[in-house]
Amino acid sequence: MADNHITKTLLARIDETWGKPTCPTDWITLPSQRRWEYEITAKLLDLSEGDRVLDAGGGQGYMSYIMSGVCDVTFNDRHDCYCQPSAPIQKIIGSFFTLPEHEQFDAIACVSVLEHVPAGRRSDWLKKTHSLLRPGGVAVLTFEWHPSEVFDLGDGFTLITEQLKELWNVVPLKVTTQLVSPFKCTNSRGWIPLALCLVHSE
């Protein structure tokens, strides 16, 4: 995890904007856990100036906004939920699965999305991630997770360690880093944020 000047810039932007009404996040209900997800994503991406980055399932667009102006950022979500200050980003509104595969990115950021992908489509989702990354490219995923038990997210989806292991057996993405949030859960679901750094491998 390099401590380069781009990473420092992104972390400073998070520090300056976190919790401000002009830069909405879900910080009100999940302050420590969610902030950790954005910060660890910024660190693990280890971006260089001008890198082409996809913010997949970008939601309100906070990660896109943080990276804007430093990198060539593309925001993607099924709906145009972007509600950050105006920023130099490209938007592709629609399903992640329909993104054109000639679009190639140096990095993909995906904050709290994988757990909401139906279990039967997760391997396809990760294969799509692989197809959108340039060789050597990095994808950083954070998601809600339970270390041992079947964990219902409230929408009928689950994600546990054994399911993750099965995914890595079928998807050509090498897991280089796996980090568990130091923050304990503050809700009744018992989830813990997990962060993974994945590298495109042939």
Sketch out the chain's domains with CATH numbers: 5-200 (3.40.50.150)
Q: Mean pLDDT throughout 142-161? A: 60
User: Is the per-residue pLDDT at 1 higher than 60?
Assistant: no
Q: CA 39, CA 4: separation in Å to the nearest integer?
A: 14
Q: CA 41, CA 178: separation in Å to the nearest integer?
A: 12
Q: Mean pLDDT throughout 32-57? A: 91
158: pLDDT confidence band, cut at 50, 70 and 90? low
Residue 78 backbone phi and psi in degrees, to 5: -65, -30
User: Is the per-residue pLDDT at 85 higher than 80?
Assistant: yes
pTM, full prediction: 0.88
List the beta strands (DSSP E) in 45-191: 52-56, 72-77, 89-93, 105-111, 133-145, 173-180
Query: What torsion, rounded to 10 degrees, do the Cα atoms 47, 107, 58, 69 define?
Result: 40
User: Is the per-residue pLDDT at 76 higher than 90?
Assistant: yes
User: Is the per-residue pLDDT at 23 higher than 50?
Assistant: yes
pLDDT at 21: 87
Q: CA 153, CA 145: separation in Å to the nearest integer?
A: 9
The neighbouring-strand residues paired with 175 are: 198
Instruction: Identify whether the C-beta of residue 175 lies closer than 8 Å to the C-beta of residue 168.
Output: yes
185: pLDDT confidence band, cut at 50, 70 and 90? low
119: pLDDT confidence band, cut at 50, 70 and 90? confident
User: Is the per-residue pLDDT at 91 higher than 60?
Assistant: yes
User: Is the per-residue pLDDT at 53 higher than 90?
Assistant: yes
The neighbouring-strand residues paired with 140 are: 109, 197
The neighbouring-strand residues paired with 197 are: 140, 177
| 173: Cβ contacts below 8 Å, ≥ 6 apart | 126, 129, 130, 139, 198, 199, 200, 201
User: Is the per-residue pLDDT at 45 higher than 70?
Assistant: yes
